[in-house]
Structure 1
Amino acid sequence: MSEQPELTAAELVVTVPQPDDQGTNTLDRYDWQASTAAADGLELYLQALGADKRLQDGESRRILCEYHEDWVALHGDSAELVSAKHRDPSADAYRTLNQLAHEGGLAHLFLRWRELQEKPTCRLATSGGLASGDTQDFAATIQTLRQVRLSGQQIVINDENRSSTDKFHSAIYANSGKYLPKEWVRGSENEVSQDDQRQQVARFISMLNIQSELTRRADIGFAAPMKYAKPVVDYLGFDVPYESVWNVVYGLFFTRMKAAGPRIDAIISPVLAFANGSGPPTSADRERELATRIVTMHDIDLAVMTAVANPSAYGSLTSPIKLSRAAVKMRHGSCSDNSIERGEHLRREYQRFWHDRLNGDPTARVEREKLRRLLLRVSDRANTPDMRAKGKWGAHFWIALEDALEHIPAEQLPTGMDPGLLLGGINDLTNECKIWFSDIFDVAAEIDRIRENNRGSAA
């Protein structure tokens, strides 16, 4: 018998069946994961476009949704397993390796990587941050071991990486349950020594990437068109709303991720699959069976061109203009609709955060007032004469504020506070007329005027 060729990472991903069910998704989880996967898809699409702004012959980049992990990015023979974990502000940053292994899904990711013969690279994409201490030390170990791997050297456990490797090894034990590798069980057949287990863990760490502090669920619908669709539209040179392109591509990924459910042909037996002269299914055969879960670059290209051809059909539904003082002031300063909607969302999140903290925490009121003073100082510094000289400067001010808030050290903030919530605090102060996005004007009169226009639109 001829020896079977060794399978590549991409071939293993579509050939090896899932050892366990990922479980059901809520609509909210699908929404955030589909948005995050769509962001990956648009990034791959941008990479795939040649100098002539077209896809090249033989383009192989694609994303396999809800199989082995939340999605797998494939390119040629390479594969990257992606575990996407949304983390609400109330959950705070990941503080321990046990949290990363369980809540961040890294134990599950390790088991899948091991099942796939250690060939794919792996990524945790999460809205949560990494707290100082063990998790940031782990992130540093990832970078160190990755450089060793990329340089072609052997992965060795030494004093620099031993602590993180040992702690993550323990976290895998604690969070794998019945899926713990049989060879890791003491007294089992083909038992692997503790040293060999740690060596395997170190190899996994060298293949890992943690993409933390991604846009949260409440904001991603407003931030995504500008953040992910704009680079594609700008590169292609089209004069169309970014929202239209985003909405079509997002819808494509949402549909593919939902396709992980039952298939109508799942109970039909494959006819003549193993007749004389035919072999078992190849990786190409298996990939064709998974087609309803796969988004190719040609799929994205078709989606983009569809939006470009008829952008009005895929734009977001319009609604009457917002009437909060903050929204009216931002609009007067020429902030975009996306920024206004996002600001309103973040203000509600900010108010909810303090509502929860003020119930039963006697120190919360003092913390809130201290934070308000900090936000007013940041806004005062961001509002420069050069910016005000630009005429309609509100949009520039919003961007400057967001940049400034992202650089505030975590130790200066209340526990659980992040840049998104800080921006919600800015919006809250704007609603109290403590911060302006233009020269001062009669907000009450402007609200009355907009209210009448809204009534006329609804008539």
Structure 2
Amino acid sequence: MPEQPELTAAELVVTVPQPDDAGANTLDRYDWQASMAAADGLQLYLDALGPDKRLRSDDSRRILCEYQEDWVALDGDLAELVSAKHRDPSVDAYRTVNQLADDGGLAHLFLRWRALEEKPTCRLTTTGGLASGDPQDLEAATTILREMRQAGQDVTLPNSYLSSVAKLHSAVRTYSGKHLPSAWVKGSEDEVSEEDQRQQVARFLSMLKVHHSLTRRADIGFAAPAKFAKPVVEHLGFDVPCEAVWNAVYGLFYTRMRAAGPRADATISPVLSFANGSGPSTSADRERELSNRIVTVHDIDAAVMVAVINPAAYETLGSPIRLSRAAVKMRKGDCSDNSIERGEQLRKDYHHYWRGRLTGDPTAVAERDRLRRLLLRVSDKADTPLVRSNSKWGPDFWKSIQDLLDGIPQEKIPVGMDVDLLLGGISDLANACQVWFSDRFDVEDEIRRLREENRGSAA
């Protein structure tokens, strides 16, 4: 028989059977995992965008959910197994290597890595911290051993980390149960020495990254849009709430992590799959069978674009307080909710206008700068001692600006722009902290305070 080609890490992930499939059945209790997988997906997507901010049609980056581990990040032939463990504040940090192996899932992660011929890299993603002593020593060992591997050196055990490797080796033996590698069982035909076993653990540590002290479940809904979706929105240059993009992408991952939902390229059950002497399914066939668990960067791109086109459909429900800098400043100045909502919408329309003008119009940049100077002069003229005589002068200032904008001659307004869009420009300047509706204050601190208020309203 012809020699079979050696499989890559990505091919092994989809062809080697996993020992269980419990993860997808318990995901309803672990939406935090879906958030962390979505964060990885958005990072893959951001990395995949080329200089023209578009995906290549053949880009193969993808996330395989709830198979082998909580998810697997795939890029061509490469694979990274990710174990995601949420720890509540009452549990706090991992204090022993045994806790990392059991509660942190390192034992299970090691076993999957061994079953996949030691080819994937691995990552533990957790809200728990690492206590001083053995846990931090183990993390330090991963750094040293990884540097050896990446430098092309043999992974050897420095004397200072022999203890860390030995403790993880012991913990793997303790918490692997019936899944202990056959070569580790005394008396087995392929038995290896304990020294060789510890060398395997050292190689595993060279492939491992511990990503700890992450945002907990109670805070992820508020932190994730700004932390994970905002970089994508800013890179693409869209003027849409990052919450809308986050909700669209998170919903995609939440569905896939339950192995649910249709896909355009999914297949029905194979018919006559071995007819006429055809061979067993390939890794590509197996990956198609797993399509309802896979999120590609092209899936993420589609979700992002849908959210951009219709952001209102993905806005977070039960969030009564706008959290843009412009909205927070207007609220601090005691402007009404109606004024704030109008300012937010006009600011989006203003961005939409210039996005169209700046595409292929060489005069647009200079005209936009002239308009900005005009709007700053209007805001300066509206900011009078009479307006400020009221302790809450935001509404009077907002009205005064509109009166002044109404008086601007049409020839000074860019073609296709009306007075409402000029007001959107004022809101945009406020968002850039160049226009204020009250005395100056720490805007970021106020946003954090209002976010807590939002949280209480939604609870």
TM-score by length of 1: 0.70
For residues 433-452 of structure 1, give each alpha carbon's deviation from its aligned partner in whole angstroms, at most 9, with x where no partner exists.
Answer: xxxxxxxxxxxxxxxxxx9x
Query: Structure 1 residues 57 and 269 mapped into 2: Cα distance closer, same or farther (>3 Å)?
Result: closer
Instruction: Give the Cα separation in 1 of the matches to 2:127 and 2:214.
Output: 4
Residues in 1 aligned to 2:106 and 2:330: alpha-carbon distance in whole angstroms: 41
Structure 1 match to 2:445: 397
By how many angstroms is 1:182 displaced?
A: 1.5
Distance 1:102 1:333, change over 3 A: farther
Contact 2:70 2:84 in 1 (8 A): yes
Q: Which residue type is aligned with residue 153 of structure 1? A: Q
Match of 1:43 in 2: 43
Deviation at 1:320, TM superposition (A): 5.1
1:313 aligns with: 313
1:43-442 pair list within 5 angstroms: 43-259=43-259, 270-318=270-318, 332=332, 391-397=439-445
Aligned-partner SS, 1:84: strand
Q: Taking structure 1 as reference, are residues 227 and 331 closer, same or farther at Cα in structure 2, changes over 3 Å only?
A: farther
Q: CA deviation at 1:27?
A: 2.1
Contact 2:18 2:68 in 1 (8 A): yes
Answer whether contact 1:333 1:395 (CA < 8 A) is retained. Answer: no
d(CA) in 2 for partners of 1:318 and 1:213? 28
Distance (whole Å) between structure 1 residues aligned to residue 92 and residue 331 of structure 2: 32
Deviations 1:8-64 (A, max 9, x none): 0000001111123335415231x1010110000000000000000000131010000
4+ aligned runs moved over 4 Å, structure 1: 319-322, 328-331
TM-score, normalisation: structure 2: 0.70
Identity %: 68
Assess if the C-alpha contact under 8 Å between 1:333 and 1:392 holds in 2.
no
1:27 corresponds to which residue?
Answer: 28
Distance 1:276 1:39, change over 3 A: same
**Are 2:27 and 2:257, in contact at CA under 8 Å, matched by a contact in 1?**
no
**C-alpha distance in 2, partners of 1:330/1:143?**
48
Deviations 1:363-396 (A, max 9, x none): xxxxxxxxxxxxxxxxxxxxxxxxx9x9443433
Structure 1 unaligned blocks of 5 or more: 262-267, 323-327, 335-387, 403-422, 432-450, 452-459
Q: Report if the CA contact (8 A) 1:122-1:208 is conserved.
A: yes
Distance 1:232 1:170, change over 3 A: same
Q: Name the CA distance, whole Å, in 2 between partners of 1:136 and 1:240.
A: 41
CA RMSD of aligned residues (A): 2.9
1:25 counterpart SS class: helix
Structure 1 residues 230, 278: CA separation in 2 closer, same or farther (over 3 Å shift)?
Answer: same
Alpha-carbon distance, 1:278 to partner: 1.1
Give the aligned residue type for 1:203: R
Between Structure 1 and Structure 2, whose CA radius of gyration is higher?
2
For 1:162 and 1:187, how far apart are their aligned partners in 2? Answer: 26
3-state DSSP class of the match of 2:273? Answer: coil
Structure 2: tracts of 5 or more residues without a match: 262-267, 323-327, 335-435
CA shift, 1:260, in A, is 6.6
Change (3 A) 1:240 1:269: closer
Deviation per CA, 1:84-143: give whole Å up to 9, x if none: 000000001001010000000000000000000000000000011001000000000000
- SS of 1:95's equivalent? coil
Deviation at 1:183, TM superposition (A): 1.3
| Distance of aligned partners of 1:154 and 1:60 in 2 relative to their CA distance in 1, 3 Å threshold | same
Deviation at 1:398, TM superposition (A): 5.9
Cα distance in 2 between the residues matched to 1:291 and 1:21: 16
After alignment, is 98-107 or 158-167 more displaced?
A: 158-167
Structure 1, residues 327-373: CA drift from partner, whole Å, max 9, x if none? x9996499xxxxxxxxxxxxxxxxxxxxxxxxxxxxxxxxxxxxxxx
- Once residues 247 and 269 of structure 1 are traced to their aligned partners in structure 2, the CA distance between those partners, rounded to angstroms, is 32
Inter-CA distance 321–163: structure 2 relative to 1 (3 Å threshold):
same
Do the aligned residues in 2 keep the contact of 1:62 with 1:74 (CA within 8 Å)?
Answer: yes
Q: 1:35 to 1:391 in 2, by over 3 A?
A: farther
- Answer yes or no: is the 8 Å Cα contact 1:81–1:121 preserved in 2: yes
Alignment deviations for residues 64-99 of structure 1 (CA, whole Å, 9 cap, x no partner):
000000000000100000000000000010010100
Partner of 1:454: none
What displacement does 1:313 show? 1.1
Report the Cα offset of residue 149 of structure 1: 0.2
> For residues 183 and 321 of structure 1, do their structure 2 counterparts lie closer, same or farther at Cα, with a shift above 3 Å needed?
same
